[in-house]
Amino acid sequence: MKNKRWLSLLVVSAAFIYLVLPLAATFMYSIAKEWSHTVLPVSYTLDWYKELFTDSRFLAAVGRTLTVSAIALIASVVTMSVTVFVVYMYLPKLERFLQAITMIPFAVPGVVAAVGLIKVYSSGPIVLSGTIWILVGAYYVLIIPYMYQGIRNSLRTIDARRLMEAAEILGASKMKAFLQVVAPNIMGGIIISALLSFSILIGEFVMANFLVGGSYETIQIYLMRQLNQNGHLSSAIVIAYFTIVLMISWLMLKLGTRFNKKEENKENAA
Amino acid sequence: MSYVQIDQAFKQFGKSVVLQQVSLNVEKGELVTLLGPSGCGKSTLLRCIAGLESLDSGTISVNGKDISQLPPQRRNVGMVFQSYALFPNMTVFDNIAFGLKMQKLAREQITAKVNQAIELVHLSGKESSYPHQLSGGQQQRVALARALVTEPDILLLDEPLSALDAKIRKSLQSDLRSIQRDLKMTMIFVTHDQEEAMTISDRIFVMNNGEIAQQGKPEHIYASPKNEFVARFIGSYNVLTGRDLIRLTGQSMKPGTYAIRPEVMELHPSGEAHTFTHDRGLWLEGVISSMIVRGNVRRYEVQSQDVTLTIDELNVPHKVAFDEGMLINVRIPEAACTLLA
């Protein structure tokens, strides 16, 4: 028994070191002033971060990524929650069909999708190539599976059908019942799906590079370009980038456990 | 004309017919129960009354007004669901106030009515709790208050107590009944539990396969089931053919199917002195195959040739229970054999 515990501790530690070491090294490099022949850096500096956060190109790139992701996310939240709700409530026969099409983005590799999109949208009737809208569209499609699953699970968890019926019998129109009863109760699920989608979008490189690479520098493309120029600076970018994703994941986890706790309480009370 | 009148209600889902020309009447202030096994159409009928499902043909009228074509919002009915269906994002107060807000009542009026309803269901002090902080019984009280506070013409209850444990169920049954009497509220109650139906109803409609198998007062339905389905469903009756009875008792009977209540048969030790001919009633011999104590009664399974009989006996201390495997004589009073249609 004691041996086993020792072994598992060893395995976990090894895995932890394996995962953390590169990150730690990157972090060290991002705050190193001079580091060539020693195990640890000779001197430290925060200059790379200062340079990064004062670089207008970096800030613009962050702004662009946020803009594109936000547009895609908002469009997805609004359209998907209504679509999934309507199908769940009134067209249950279409549910399998909807589930099948929402899985397509998983099946199509990013490169294939990007090349296809460029082909379709570079000549009439709709020309989107080179504009941010082609990326917004691609991002919208990319996050559909996550949004769909999240929203559908929330609807099931709260038994949205029964809640709608109860609200309608009490005199609420369908619209009021949705806005006052269903929407507030699936909001937790929607926020979690949106955050998950967001963390996927800011990590996405293939689509961004292929579709708008030259004309619209997002954080991903900026990072790619900096990698070839300055190791310290690109390390700082990676760490900044990682911190953002970490914060989002932490927020998701927090919201997730809050959501689960509510469910648990419900079960305990019943 | 009755207060609630359902005329020739017909409904099918795809190819399966769920309601076959059901007609029934409910008087004002009456509590009736739709009783039947799952899939008999009772819940569908209730949902049609509420407007959550539409009838394929037939009419439903309340207080002389045909409501069959109205959306649920305009039917002025209340409904309580088995799963409570409370709004998880709202407090007890807001849940109950929801219907009144939809009616656009003034705030003071809403507060007064909600407080009154909370008192009615004994939930004072829980106004600002959320549903997930309440027990099942309390949640169902909130659901009841929420449905009652809008003063509906009829209150529909779809197996409201089925998810609760026995003790809470019993106490809510009696609360529900007394609230119903106080408010003189017309209620239609759906359940698959015959004991519950017997306890709370003014009248029972026993449903089977989308039809009403029998209707009447609880005591009437229990005492004289019309057919085999009702006899079996309502009180674990023993259902035997006349031929079986003749074979087992050696006495002549009219042909047909007979229902015998488990509590009317008497058990006598096999060696006990009695004369079969003088003692009125039908006598048969059997072996005790099992005995279960169900609180105040002992339930015996008695094997007599190829027929198994269920016999209930009051569980009183001075009367010694029969052991499994014992040979016994069973007496059935002749009047207790109900000939079924």
CB contact under 8 A, A172 and B73: yes
Q: Is A175 on the interface with B (CB under 8 A)?
A: no
Q: How confident is the model at residue B280 (pLDDT cuts 50, 70, 90)?
A: confident
Mean pLDDT of B75-104: 95
Mean pLDDT of B202-226: 94
Which chain B residues are closer than 8 Å to A158 by Cβ?
88
What is the side-by-side strand order in the sheet with B57-62?
B16-26, B4-13, B57-62, B65-66
CB contact under 8 A, B85 and A262: no
Pairing assessment for the beta strands B238-241 and B257-260 based on DSSP bridges? antiparallel
Q: Is B83 on the interface with A (CB under 8 A)?
A: yes
Residue A270: the pLDDT is 43
Residue B196: the pLDDT is 93
Residue A192: the pLDDT is 86
Q: Is A260 on the interface with B (CB under 8 A)?
A: no
Contact B159, B172 (CB under 8 A): no
Mean pLDDT of A181-190: 90
Q: How confident is the model at residue A259 (pLDDT cuts 50, 70, 90)?
A: low
Report the residue from B52, B98, B131 with minimal CB separation from A170.
B98
CB contact under 8 A, B81 and A162: yes
Is B140's pLDDT higher than 80? yes
CB contact under 8 A, A172 and B87: no
Contact B100, B125 (CB under 8 A): no
d(CA B319, CA B330) in angstroms, rounded, equals 16
Place of tokens 């209730």: B46
Q: Which of B52, B62, B84, B102 to mutate to test the interface with A (most CBs of A within 10 A)?
A: B102
Contact A156, A238 (CB under 8 A): no
d(CA B224, CA B230) in angstroms, rounded, equals 9
Tell me how long chain A is: 270
* Continuous segment of H or E residues that includes residue B219: helix B218-223
Is B210's pLDDT higher than 90? yes
Residue A194 Cα distances to A86, A146, A155, B179, B183, angstroms:
20, 8, 16, 47, 49
Domains of chain A are 1-45 (no CATH), 57-269 (1.10.3720.10)
Contact A230, A248 (CB under 8 A): no
Q: Which residue of A has its CA nearest to B75?
A: A169
In this predicted model, what pLDDT tens digit does every residue of B14-55 receive, in sequence order? 999 999 999 999 999 999 999 999 989 999 999 999 999 999
Q: How confident is the model at residue B276 (pLDDT cuts 50, 70, 90)?
A: low
Q: How confident is the model at residue A152 (pLDDT cuts 50, 70, 90)?
A: very high
Q: What is the CA radius of gyration of chain A?
A: 23
Contact B168, B137 (CB under 8 A): yes
Q: What's the whole-number average pLDDT of chain B?
A: 91
d(CA A191, CA A251) in angstroms, rounded, equals 10
- One-letter-per-residue 3-state SS of chain A: CHHHHHHHHHHHHHHHHHHHHHHHHHHHHHCEEECCCCCCCCEECCHHHHHHHHCHHHHHHHHHHHHHHHHHHHHHHHHHHHHHHHHHHHCHHHHHHHHHHHCHHHHCCHHHHHHHHHHHHCCCCCCCCCCHHHHHHHHHHHHHHHHHHHHHHHHHHCCHHHHHHHHHHCCCCHHHHHHHHHHHHHHHHHHHHHHHHHHHHCCCCHHHHHHHCCCCCCHHHHHHHHHCCCHHHHHHHHHHHHHHHHHHHHHHHHHHHHHHHHHHHHHHHC
d(CA B68, CA B59) in angstroms, rounded, equals 6
Residue A260: the pLDDT is 56
**Nearest Cα residue to A176 out of B179, B104, B149:** B104
Report the residue from B50, B78, B87 with minimal CB separation from A181.
B87
Instruction: Give the rounded percent of residues in chain B with a pLDDT score beyond 90.
Output: 72
Q: Which residues contact B179 (CB under 8 A, 6 or more apart)?
A: B120, B121, B144, B148, B185
d(CA B281, CA B172) in angstroms, rounded, equals 42
Main-chain dihedrals φ then ψ at residue A30, nearest 5 degrees: -75, -20
Two structure tokens written together for B80 = 């309580």
d(CA A230, CA A49) in angstroms, rounded, equals 13
Q: Which residue of A has its CA nearest to B98?
A: A170
d(CA B160, CA B93) in angstroms, rounded, equals 20
Contact B87, B121 (CB under 8 A): no
Give whichever of A196-205, A218-227, B285-294 has the largest mean pLDDT: B285-294
Q: Which residue of A has its CA nearest to B145?
A: A170
Q: How confident is the model at residue B318 (pLDDT cuts 50, 70, 90)?
A: confident
Two structure tokens written together for A124 = 């009439």
Q: Is B73 on the interface with A (CB under 8 A)?
A: yes
Is A161's pLDDT higher than 60? yes
In this predicted model, what pLDDT tens digit does every residue of B158-208 receive, in sequence order? 999 998 998 999 999 999 999 999 999 999 999 999 999 999 999 999 999
Residue A184 Cα distances to A9, A167, A257, B148, angstroms:
43, 14, 18, 25
Contact B223, B330 (CB under 8 A): no
Which chain A residues are closer than 8 Å to B99 by Cβ?
170-171
Q: What is the CA radius of gyration of chain B?
A: 24
Report the residue from A166, A172, A269 with minimal CB separation from B133.
A269
ipTM of the complex model: 0.83
Which chain A residues are closer than 8 Å to B146 by Cβ?
170
